[in-house]
Chains A and B, each alone.
Chain A
C-alpha cells in the first residue's frame, strides 16, 4: 500500500462502500454501470482505489463518462443469488487554501449572462449544467422560491449560500418521504427528503434562474472529528451541490448540513443529477424478488 505523507492541512480517509443484492431466485445475467471510483479533483487525491465484485464479473470495463467521471461497466454471467460490490478508497482531502469570500463574487445576473455568452472552455463546460435534467424540471414555484435569495444585484455566492441555508432550515430530513426517483418539484411540494432530494431542489432552483449547478455524489466521515458534530448523511453515500461562478470557479455547498464543504467531503463523481452518477445501475434477468442493502464506512486513515 502506498505510504501517505500526512500534511497538517490534509485529512486521510479509508472509505469502504459495500452494496449487496440478495435474490429469491437465481439471476442468470446481470449488467451494471457503476460510479464507484473517485474522480480526480483539485483538492483531493486518491492514493488507491479498488472495486471488488462477487461473483466475479465476466466483463469489467472501466471508462470515463461524458462528465469526466470514472465509470465501470460490469456484467455477471453466471447464475447467482447474491451480488456484492465493495469499493475501497484511500483518499487524501486537502482543505481549501482560502475560505470562500462571497464578496468576491459578481452579482448573480452577471454570472447568468456570462454563462450564456462566454465560450471559453471552462464556462462552456459549466454551461451544460444550466439546463434541466430528469430530476429537476422547470417550475415557476421553484423559481419564485429561488428569487427570495437571489435579489437584484446580490452577490452570486452570497445568494447561493443563503439559498443553501433556507433549504436546510425549511426542509425536513426524512428518509421515508422520498425514493431515489422522486423529482425536485415533488420534494419541493412536500418540503421533506434526504440529501439527494435537497441537492435536486437547490439545483432546480439555481437552474430556473439560468445558473449552473451540478450534483456531486460522495462521502462524509462516519464519526466527526473531536469536538465537531456528526454530519447528516455519514452512513450512506452523500450528495451536495456545486455552483459555478466565472471568477471563483466551482464552489461546493451542502444544503443538508448548511455547510461549505472543506476537508470532510470526499468527492466521488458529479453530473447533472443523481441519474448521471448513481453508484450502481443494473438490469437483471431472473431473480424473483430481491432486497438491497448498502453500507458506507469512512474512517480517518492516519498511519498507513
Chain B
C-alpha cells in the first residue's frame, strides 16, 4: 500500500479537524469512534455527510423534524409527571449505525435466544422437566406471581408462545454484545422505532439513501403474516385486534400508531367480550368474532375472572377462550414469566439442556442470591454489582453497589441476607456510547439497544434496526424513558441492494376498492358521541360568557344593560354551577359578578365550568385519537393543553377547606378583558373543530355519533337559553332578546329580516322553527332525525325504530307549533305555553340519548365480580 492512499484514508477516518469537537467517553465502547479517535468504517458515510452539511444545517433540519414529532403528537406518558401526562418523544438526530457483520452476529445470537425462551415457556407451562432435572431452581417458578397458574397445562394454538420478542443489548468496552434483559409478554418500542425511522429518513433523505440502510417494513410484514397465520379459525381473513390498556398507558401513542400501521383496530378490554368460549368485538352492528389478539396489556391484567381480580382492563373469560383454542393471544398469556431477571443466571445451562447448544449471545453475568455460594459471591463483589429484583413483581430500582456509602452497603447486604430469593447481582457492564446532539456540540451518551424478533415459521426474524435509548446526561448509566432519556433511530447497513418494500404505500399493487368504513367499536361510538357533546357544550357556554363579558367590559353597568342580571342567571343555569347567580348569595354576586364569572370560566374543580368541560373534552379526545384526523387532534390539543395561570390550583384537589382563598390567589392576576380574548380564542378553535368535522370526516358511523352529540348539545343550549330568558318576562324585553340572538349567533339573520323591530314571535320563529337557520332547534332536530334514520338497525324488525319514533314526534310538534300562542304571556307574567313546549322538547332529547345508549351502546355495561369478593391485595 502506498503512502498516498494511506494518508487519504487516514484523513477520512479522522474527519479533520477534530470532528465537531466530539470526545468519546473514556472506558466504554464508542459505537462511532475507535479508541484512537478514528471513525469506525461503517460510520464514515453518515458522519462525513453530517459534517459536510454543517452544524447549522443539521440544527435547522432537526428543528423541523422536532416540529413534525410534536405535530404528530408522538408522546410518551410519564407517570407522576407534575407537568402533565404526555411528554413529547425525545429523538436524537444522529442515528446509531450497525455494520452488516455486527448485525449478522447479533441476528444469530438473538434467534437462538428466542428459540431457547420459546422452549423454556413450553416446558414451564407444560411438564416442567427443567425443575425436576435440577437445571432451574423451582423457587423461580413457584415463588413467582409471573407464573400464571390458570395457564399451566394449556397449549396455545400452534404450540407457539412468543410472537414478538425483544432483548435489550449493549456492547462492553471490548466490543462484545451482551443481553441486559428480555421482554417477552408485550414488548414496547417497536412502534417508536418505526416513528423514529420515518422522522429521520425524512430529515436526512439523501444520507439515508446513500448509506444503504435496511428498511423496517419487511419485518412488520413478517409480524403481520405471523399474526394472521395464528388465527385458529377463518384463516383467510382473520380479524386481528390490538389490545391496549388505554390512553393513560405510558406508550399509548405507540399502540395507536402500530394499530394504524398494521391495519388492526385498536381496542380496549371493554370493546371485547367472551361468549360461547369465543372472543368478540362489540361494534355498532353487534358482535364480531376476533381471531387474534395482539396485546399490549400485561399478563395479569388480561382477565379479571382468572387472573388479577382488581382490574377490569382486560376481558372476563379470556383465559378460558385462549384455553379453548378459539383465539390466539400474542404473546401467549403467561409469557411474562420469562421477564424474571433471576432466569438470566440459568440461561447457559438451560440452553444446553433444552437445545443442546452453547448460548451464543451471553446475558450480563448474573447471580441469583437464592443460592448460597452465589449470594456470597454477590456480597463479596458488591462494588462491581448492580443489585436488581429477582422477580418482575418486586418493585425496586436497580442499585449500583459501587455508588453506595459504607453504611448503605451494609444495609443492602442485610436486606439481601434477610430475603435472598428476592435479589440478583448482575455484573456491572460499562454500556456502549454514541454521539448525540446537545445544544451546539456532540456529546457521548451511554446507550442500550432494544432489538425485536418476530416469530417466523419455526424460527424468528430479526428487525434490521431497533430502538436505541440513550441516558439523560453524560456519564449516566441509567437508560430509561421514564427517567427522561432519549432515543435514536437505529440503522443496519445493507451489504447488497436495499429492499425498498413499504407497508405504507403499496402503490404498485392494485387494491380492491372499498367504501366500507370498517366496523366501529361501540365504545368508540360512545366516545365520539361525547366528544361531540363536550365540544357543543363548551361552545354554547363560551358564546354566552362572551356576550356577558362583552357587556361588562364595555364599562356599562346594569343601567345601560338591563338584561345583564338575566344573562348572568342564564350563565348559572346553563353551566349548572350552583349557587352562582341563582341560589344562595346571588344578589351580592349579581352586583359584583367578576369573581363568579372567573370561576365559571377557569375553575377546573367546579363541575360544569368551562374549564371542567374543556378538560373532559381533552380526556375524550385522547380516547378517539386514532379516529379523528391529525388536524382535528392538533386544533383541540392546543386548546386543552393550554396552561392556565391557576394550574397549581387544579393539581391540588384535596384541600377542600382553603378552596375559596386559594382560588382567590390563583385568579388574582386575571382580568375580564384577558378572559374575553381567551373566550374569543375558544370560540374560534371550537368553530375550527366543527369545520374540520364537517369538511374532512367521511360520513361513517363515527362521524354520525360525533355529529349527533354536537347537535344534541346545540339543541339543549338553545332550549336552555330561550327558557332562561323568555319564559319569565320583565319588560322591556328588547335588550334581552338582542342578547339572546347574539348568544345563539342569529343576530345577523334577524336584523336582515326584521330590521329594527324586536318582537318575541319572530325571535322564536328564528330560534325554534326556522329550518334554514343552522342554529335553530328545527335544524338540530331535522339533522338528528336524519342521522337516526341512517344508523345500523335490525332489519328483521319492520317499522320505525324507537329513536326514529322519538324524532318524528319531536319534529312534528316543532312543525305544528303556533308561535303566536307560544309568545303569549299569562296573568302571572310568564310564557307558560312556551315553558311547557320547551320542557317537552328537552325531554325528547334526553329520551333520544337514553335510547341510543340502550340500542347501540348497551353492551358497554361494566363487568364486576360476583359475591362479596372485594379487591384482593396485590400479590407481591
Which A residues are within 8 Å of any B CB, using their own CB?
Answer: 21, 28-33, 58-59, 61, 63-67, 73, 75, 77, 119, 121, 124, 127-128, 130-134, 137-138, 179-181, 183, 275-276, 280-287, 290, 292
User: Is the CB–CB distance between A32 and B866 below 8 Å?
Assistant: yes
User: Is the CB–CB distance between B866 and A281 below 8 Å?
Assistant: yes
Q: Enumerate 30 A-B pairs (CB-CB under 8 Å) in ascending A order.
A: A28-B859, A29-B275, A31-B274, A31-B317, A61-B277, A63-B323, A64-B153, A67-B149, A73-B317, A75-B275, A75-B320, A77-B276, A119-B131, A119-B134, A124-B138, A127-B138, A128-B142, A131-B142, A134-B873, A138-B419, A180-B867, A180-B869, A181-B869, A181-B870, A281-B305, A281-B867, A281-B869, A282-B866, A283-B864, A285-B862
Q: Chain B, 356-376, contact with A by CB distance < 8 Å: what is the 0/1 string?
A: 000000000000000000000
In the complex, residue of chain B having the shortest beta-carbon distance to the beta carbon of A134: B875
User: Is the CB–CB distance between A283 and B305 below 8 Å?
Assistant: yes
Within 8 Å of chain A (Cβ to Cβ): is B132? yes
Complex-state Cα separation, A285 to B865, whole angstroms? 9
User: Is the CB–CB distance between A179 and B868 below 8 Å?
Assistant: yes
Complex-state Cα separation, A106 to B196, whole angstroms? 64
User: Is the CB–CB distance between A285 and B863 below 8 Å?
Assistant: yes
* Closest chain A CB from B657 CB (angstroms): 33
Complex-state Cα separation, A58 to B276, whole angstroms? 7
Partner of A282, one of B134, B152, B276, B865: B865
In the complex, residue of chain A having the shortest beta-carbon distance to the beta carbon of B318: A31
Complex-state Cα separation, A285 to B872, whole angstroms? 20
User: Is the CB–CB distance between A31 and B305 below 8 Å?
Assistant: yes
User: Is the CB–CB distance between B866 and A33 below 8 Å?
Assistant: no
Cβ of B142: which chain A residues have Cβ within 8 Å of it?
127-128, 130-131
Within 8 Å of chain A (Cβ to Cβ): is B861? yes
Within 8 Å of chain A (Cβ to Cβ): is B435? no
Given A33-B305, A134-B873, A283 and B320 contact (CB-CB distance below 8 Å): no
User: Is the CB–CB distance between A283 and B275 below 8 Å?
Assistant: no
User: Is the CB–CB distance between B861 and A286 below 8 Å?
Assistant: yes
* Closest chain A CB from B306 CB (angstroms): 6
User: Is the CB–CB distance between A280 and B866 below 8 Å?
Assistant: yes
In the complex, residue of chain A having the shortest beta-carbon distance to the beta carbon of B320: A73
Which B residues are within 8 Å of any A CB, using their own CB?
Answer: 131-134, 138-139, 142-143, 149-150, 152-153, 273-277, 304-306, 316-317, 320, 323-324, 419, 859, 861-873, 875-876
Given A31-B305, A284-B863, A284-B866, A75 and B875 contact (CB-CB distance below 8 Å): no
* Closest chain A CB from B132 CB (angstroms): 6
* Closest chain A CB from B286 CB (angstroms): 14
Complex-state Cα separation, A209 to B277, whole angstroms? 42
Complex-state Cα separation, A33 to B865, whole angstroms? 12
Complex-state Cα separation, A43 to B317, whole angstroms? 35
User: Is the CB–CB distance between A65 and B150 below 8 Å?
Assistant: yes
Cβ of B134: which chain A residues have Cβ within 8 Å of it?
119
Cβ of A283: which chain B residues have Cβ within 8 Å of it?
304-305, 316-317, 863-866
Cβ of A284: which chain B residues have Cβ within 8 Å of it?
863-866
Cβ of A128: which chain B residues have Cβ within 8 Å of it?
138, 142
Cβ of A77: which chain B residues have Cβ within 8 Å of it?
275-276
Most buried by A among B152, B273, B304, B869: B869
Partner of B324, one of A28, A61, A290: A61
Closest 9 CB pairs of A and B: A282-B866, A283-B316, A131-B143, A66-B152, A128-B142, A66-B149, A31-B317, A283-B305, A73-B320
In the complex, residue of chain B having the shortest beta-carbon distance to the beta carbon of A279: B867
User: Is the CB–CB distance between B273 and A29 below 8 Å?
Assistant: yes
Complex-state Cα separation, A138 to B138, whole angstroms? 19
User: Is the CB–CB distance between A121 and B863 below 8 Å?
Assistant: no
Cβ of A285: which chain B residues have Cβ within 8 Å of it?
859, 861-863
User: Is the CB–CB distance between B869 and A21 below 8 Å?
Assistant: no
Q: A67-B149, A75-B274, A292-B868 are in contact. List 4 more A-B contacts (CB 8 A).
A: A73-B317, A119-B134, A284-B865, A285-B861
Complex-state Cα separation, A292 to B868, whole angstroms? 8
Given A61-B320, A64-B153, A128-B138, A134 and B863 contact (CB-CB distance below 8 Å): no
* Closest chain B CB from A102 CB (angstroms): 28
User: Is the CB–CB distance between A59 and B276 below 8 Å?
Assistant: yes
Complex-state Cα separation, A63 to B324, whole angstroms? 11
User: Is the CB–CB distance between A59 and B277 below 8 Å?
Assistant: yes
* Closest chain B CB from A141 CB (angstroms): 15
In the complex, residue of chain B having the shortest beta-carbon distance to the beta carbon of A286: B861
User: Is the CB–CB distance between B320 and A124 below 8 Å?
Assistant: no
Given A32-B866, A180-B868, A121 and B274 contact (CB-CB distance below 8 Å): no
* Closest chain A CB from B390 CB (angstroms): 13
Cβ of A276: which chain B residues have Cβ within 8 Å of it?
149
Cβ of A127: which chain B residues have Cβ within 8 Å of it?
138, 142
In the complex, residue of chain B having the shortest beta-carbon distance to the beta carbon of A272: B149
Most buried by A among B134, B139, B316: B316
User: Is the CB–CB distance between B876 and A137 below 8 Å?
Assistant: yes
Given A280-B867, A285-B861, A66 and B305 contact (CB-CB distance below 8 Å): no
Cβ of B276: which chain A residues have Cβ within 8 Å of it?
58-59, 75, 77
* Closest chain A CB from B321 CB (angstroms): 10
Complex-state Cα separation, A128 to B275, whole angstroms? 34
In the complex, residue of chain A having the shortest beta-carbon distance to the beta carbon of B317: A31
Complex-state Cα separation, A282 to B304, whole angstroms? 9
In the complex, residue of chain A having the shortest beta-carbon distance to the beta carbon of B139: A131
Cβ of B864: which chain A residues have Cβ within 8 Å of it?
283-284, 287
User: Is the CB–CB distance between B870 and A179 below 8 Å?
Assistant: yes
Cβ of B317: which chain A residues have Cβ within 8 Å of it?
31, 73, 75, 283
Complex-state Cα separation, A180 to B876, whole angstroms? 19
In the complex, residue of chain B having the shortest beta-carbon distance to the beta carbon of A274: B872
Cβ of B876: which chain A residues have Cβ within 8 Å of it?
137
* Closest chain A CB from B779 CB (angstroms): 37
User: Is the CB–CB distance between A65 and B149 below 8 Å?
Assistant: yes
User: Is the CB–CB distance between B305 and A124 below 8 Å?
Assistant: no
Complex-state Cα separation, A21 to B867, whole angstroms? 8
* Closest chain A CB from B349 CB (angstroms): 15
Cβ of A75: which chain B residues have Cβ within 8 Å of it?
274-277, 317, 320
Cβ of A121: which chain B residues have Cβ within 8 Å of it?
132
Partner of A181, one of B306, B419, B872: B872
* Closest chain A CB from B861 CB (angstroms): 5
Cβ of A66: which chain B residues have Cβ within 8 Å of it?
149-150, 152-153
Cβ of B866: which chain A residues have Cβ within 8 Å of it?
21, 30, 32, 280-284, 290, 292
Cβ of B871: which chain A residues have Cβ within 8 Å of it?
181
Complex-state Cα separation, A203 to B19, whole angstroms? 67
Given A64-B153, A128-B138, A134 and B872 contact (CB-CB distance below 8 Å): yes
Given A61-B320, A134-B873, A282 and B275 contact (CB-CB distance below 8 Å): no
Complex-state Cα separation, A28 to B860, whole angstroms? 12
Complex-state Cα separation, A127 to B136, whole angstroms? 14
Complex-state Cα separation, A179 to B870, whole angstroms? 9
Complex-state Cα separation, A290 to B867, whole angstroms? 8
In the complex, residue of chain B having the shortest beta-carbon distance to the beta carbon of A31: B317
User: Is the CB–CB distance between B275 and A58 below 8 Å?
Assistant: yes
Complex-state Cα separation, A41 to B511, whole angstroms? 63
Partner of B873, one of A31, A180, A183, A290: A183
Complex-state Cα separation, A133 to B859, whole angstroms? 35
* Closest chain A CB from B122 CB (angstroms): 16
Complex-state Cα separation, A121 to B869, whole angstroms? 35
Complex-state Cα separation, A286 to B862, whole angstroms? 7
Cβ of A275: which chain B residues have Cβ within 8 Å of it?
872
In the complex, residue of chain B having the shortest beta-carbon distance to the beta carbon of A19: B867
Most buried by A among B274, B276, B859, B863: B863
Most buried by A among B273, B277, B320, B870: B320
Complex-state Cα separation, A67 to B152, whole angstroms? 10
Cβ of B139: which chain A residues have Cβ within 8 Å of it?
131
Cβ of B275: which chain A residues have Cβ within 8 Å of it?
29, 58, 75, 77
Complex-state Cα separation, A77 to B287, whole angstroms? 14
Given A31-B317, A134-B873, A124 and B132 contact (CB-CB distance below 8 Å): yes
Complex-state Cα separation, A63 to B201, whole angstroms? 53
Complex-state Cα separation, A33 to B305, whole angstroms? 8
* Closest chain B CB from A122 CB (angstroms): 11
